[in-house]
Structure 1
């Protein structure tokens, strides 16, 4: 009888935890469409893009789709389907990481445009971002039995890779209005600060919302928030310092 009560109690806890994610798949559609719109130039020039761009773009989109489907499955208590898709997702995440490294390596050949003066700093920040993405996936796998922590690590992968898409979308909107980069009212550094600032507001909202209900601060969101700010410092603070250039060349040009 006591054993039955314990099972019932645990079952109720699990159900309540699962119910918190009943609408998560709908919210995750937002970053998915932001990414599609932010990289619209890639999609419009799909046939002209090199192979490593396709590997990265398609694997990243597949990862987004998996993130959208997974909370939907768990909220419908389709645990078996959730686990099977999760196993497939590990391989997709690996493809995202490997293809991203190839893209970063390819950026070493950029010798014109606004990114030239900060291409090594940008590459360092992108490398750091992908290491953070991979760590979040592995931490999510490790914490699979802790529903909230597992979900937070997996959802945080969105925030690791979203800034390039959001800043590109902001730039495209401004270009539609002002027609030329020279006419833009905001320099790139301010545009990136606003981009990260908006990201931090969303992350802080998630942290506060969970803390208010569960009295627990979710570390995955704190980690990605910290490194989002560090990303700005690396790109615009270091500005291709000699040691940054030497470090990146040793990794990608050796």
Structure 2
């Protein structure tokens, strides 16, 4: 238990990274965002807050609050998954719009948005699996805690990736529209994988299955371009996700 005494402080770091990434996209056009966007943003944000509060309760003599909030947290985790799935139609819409209005989207071609949908589906499924495993392993503090900790790294990419991509585009704006939009994606994934390994090393979980899952998902995301350019992947996504 003592090993996790300061965990709540360390969990502030991924929270900051996530908020940095999504800040401009969400708050920059706050009034223009649809209802689904607001619900998804706040369920995700509250989940990150839970992963700060819950370790504090568990390690500071507030186990009753920890257990009660844990039950509420599982409801919240379901909301994160469902709202994330409900947002996938936007990727298909963006793919269609980028094909129709090429000048407005610049380097963001249809394959990019198809690729985003392909990787986000895996992220959401992995997040749900990690939460379920944390419930199954609830009687093992080490396993329960680590499965939950890794959830922040499973769903960090969309928010952090947007922030890094926005900065990258601004720096290379004079090259528009011939900007390599995959470079910030690779940088984002390297950053997230680095955080996973650092956290796993600190808490002696380098060989834990949750660590393997988090690393796999973030490596998989690096294949966004070939996935997005695959006719088979596009056909499948367009068949199951309607814009």
Aligned pairs for 1:30-41 within 5 A: 30-41=13-24
Q: What is the CA distance between 1:169 and its match in structure 2?
A: 2.3
TM-score w.r.t. the length of structure 1 is: 0.84
Between 1:26-35 and 1:199-208, the stretch displaced more is 199-208
Asked if the contact 1:39/1:168 (under 8 Å) is kept, the reply is: yes
1:183 and 1:167 map into 2 onto residues whose CA distance is: 19
Aligned pairs for 1:19-168 within 5 A: 19-41=2-24, 42-110=26-94, 111-112=97-98, 113=105, 114-168=108-162
Q: State the secondary structure of the residue aligned to 1:39.
A: helix
Deviations, residues 37-70 of structure 1 (Å, cap 9, x unaligned): 2111212322210011011001111111111100
Deviations, residues 61-96 of structure 1 (Å, cap 9, x unaligned): 111111110001011021110010011111111111
Matching residue of 1:189: 182
TM-score w.r.t. the length of structure 2 is: 0.87
| 1:226 and 2:216 matched | yes
- Root-mean-square deviation (CA, aligned residues, Å) is 2.2
Deviations, residues 128-154 of structure 1 (Å, cap 9, x unaligned): 100111111111111011111111110
Relative to structure 1, the CA distance from residue 241 to residue 175 in structure 2 (aligned partners, 3 Å threshold; closer, same or farther) is closer
1:67 and 1:238 map into 2 onto residues whose CA distance is: 32
Matched residues, number: 232
Q: What is the CA distance between 1:242 and its match in structure 2?
A: 1.2
Matching residue of 1:242: 231
Max radius of gyration: which structure? 1
Structure 2 unaligned regions, length at least 5: 99-104
Structure 1 unaligned regions, length at least 5: 1-17
Relative to structure 1, the CA distance from residue 48 to residue 153 in structure 2 (aligned partners, 3 Å threshold; closer, same or farther) is same
Asked if the contact 1:167/1:191 (under 8 Å) is kept, the reply is: yes
Q: What is the CA distance between 1:179 and its match in structure 2?
A: 6.6
Asked if the contact 2:130/2:151 (under 8 Å) is kept, the reply is: yes
| 1:206 and 2:196 matched | no
Matching residue of 1:4: none
| 1:251 and 2:235 matched | no
